[in-house]
């Protein structure tokens, strides 16, 4: 069995700072990480590798420095790393990204065998769109299984897979046929630790690096900004509310502050006070 895990290298959002004057992102010095949601996808792929002896390929699209994240994935136990990188991909929205990745996945299939399962995380922490996984599935005509909480069973002989999918109010139990694209839900498993042995392999491993031409993209108008139907017209910081917050200032003990805050809250939200008093009358008389 061949499994491909699509990952993305993202800025560690906990450490992103916005310039106070220009409202632009200060990217300098912000460390990058593997998109945390992708780790659940990677771990699930490695579990299938443990069980079925599958080969796991990790694929990413990004700048040449994204190779770091691929090597990191190798330390966890992935077998092969593929980097798709080209300046023509700059500015891709989700539609253009899923196009480039689907072309790379066709090339992966040609070079290393057709993947029975493609995994992605449920979304990224920088874009938060959750659109690239479904985009790849549609383009490659893979059966799409999103928000998967658990893979119940995989029958490689019959070519079937049974999963539990997070839906409104419960879990949908679905059975589908390989090949499938799965987006894993967060907290669906716990990422293993990388091994020293794998770290040594990863340090020496060759990262297969392809550009647009290498994956057979001839029409560059489908890539990057030109291939993106969405247009970002402005980026801005939200403005403060026109009426500033009323600040409760009370000298003295914390009890006095708390009492003053309760009065101020009820003054702002009389309906809430009404509800609470009625509720209290019913329950605590």
Residues 149-208 that bind another protein (CB under 8 A): 162, 164, 166-177, 186-187
Select from 13, 55, 156, 209 the one that contacts another protein (CB under 8 A).
13
Stretch that binds another protein, among 40-48, 58-66, 121-129, 190-198 (CB under 8 A): 121-129
Q: How far is the CB of 104 from another protein (least distance, A)?
A: 14
Q: Is 272 in the site for another protein (CB under 8 A)?
A: yes
**Cα separation of 95 and 92, whole Å?**
8
**Cα separation of 160 and 31, whole Å?**
40
Q: How far is the CB of 268 from another protein (least distance, A)?
A: 5
Return the residues of window 227-246 that contact another protein according to CB under 8 A. 227-238, 240-241, 244-246
Return the residues of window 70-99 that contact another protein according to CB under 8 A. 91, 93-95, 98-99
Return the residues of window 248-267 that contact another protein according to CB under 8 A. 248-249, 254-255, 257-259, 261-262, 264-266
Residue 214 φ then ψ, to 5°: -65, -30
Which one, of 177, 141, 174, 181, lies nearest residue 159 by Cα? Answer: 177
Residue closer to another protein (CB basis): 49 or 139:
139
Select from 1, 49, 134, 201 the one that contacts another protein (CB under 8 A).
134
CB atoms within 10 A of CB 190: 8
Q: Residue 182 forms beta bridges with which residues?
A: 119, 145
Residue closer to another protein (CB basis): 191 or 237:
237
**Cα separation of 38 and 8, whole Å?**
7
Which one, of 109, 174, 172, 160, lies nearest residue 139 by Cα? Answer: 109
Number of residues that bind another protein (CB under 8 A): 97
Q: How far is the CB of 153 from another protein (least distance, A)?
A: 11
Residue closer to another protein (CB basis): 24 or 195:
24
Q: How far is residue 28 from each of residues 66, 123, 129, measured CA to CA in Å? A: 16, 24, 24
At residue 64, the 3 state secondary structure works out as: helix
């Amino acid at each position: 069995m061949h499994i491909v895990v699509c990952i993305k290298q993202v800025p560690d959002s906990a450490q992103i700072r916005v310039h106070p004057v220009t409202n632009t992102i200060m990217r300098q010095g912000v460390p990058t990480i593997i998109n945390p949601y992708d780790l659940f996808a990677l771990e699930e792929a490695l579990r299938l590798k443990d069980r079925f002896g599958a080969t796991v390929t990790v694929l990413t699209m990004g700048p040449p420095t994204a190779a770091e994240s691929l090597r990191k994935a190798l330390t966890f136990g992935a077998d092969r790393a593929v980097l798709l990188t080209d300046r023509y991909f700059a500015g891709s929205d989700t539609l253009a990204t899923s196009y480039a990745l689907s072309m790379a996945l066709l090339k992966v299939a040609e070079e290393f065998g057709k993947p029975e399962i493609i995994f992605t995380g449920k979304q990224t922490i920088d874009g938060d769109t959750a659109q690239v996984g479904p985009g790849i599935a549609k383009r490659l005509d893979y059966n799409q299984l999103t928000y998967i909480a658990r893979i119940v069973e995989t029958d490689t002989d019959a070519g079937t897979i049974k999963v539990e999918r997070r839906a409104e109010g419960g879990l949908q139990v679905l059975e589908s046929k390989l090949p499938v694209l799965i987006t894993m839900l967060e907290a669906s498993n716990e990422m293993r630790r990388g091994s020293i042995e794998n770290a040594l392999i990863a340090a020496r491993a060759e990262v297969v690096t392809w550009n647009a031409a290498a994956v057979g993209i001839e029409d560059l108008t489908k890539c990057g900004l030109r291939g993106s139907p969405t247009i970002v017209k402005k980026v801005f910081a939200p403005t403060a509310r026109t009426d500033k917050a009323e600040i409760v200032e009370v000298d003295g003990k914390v009890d006095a502050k708390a009492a003053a805050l309760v009065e101020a809250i009820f003054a702002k939200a009389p309906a809430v006070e009404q509800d609470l008093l009625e509720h209290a009358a019913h329950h605590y008389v």
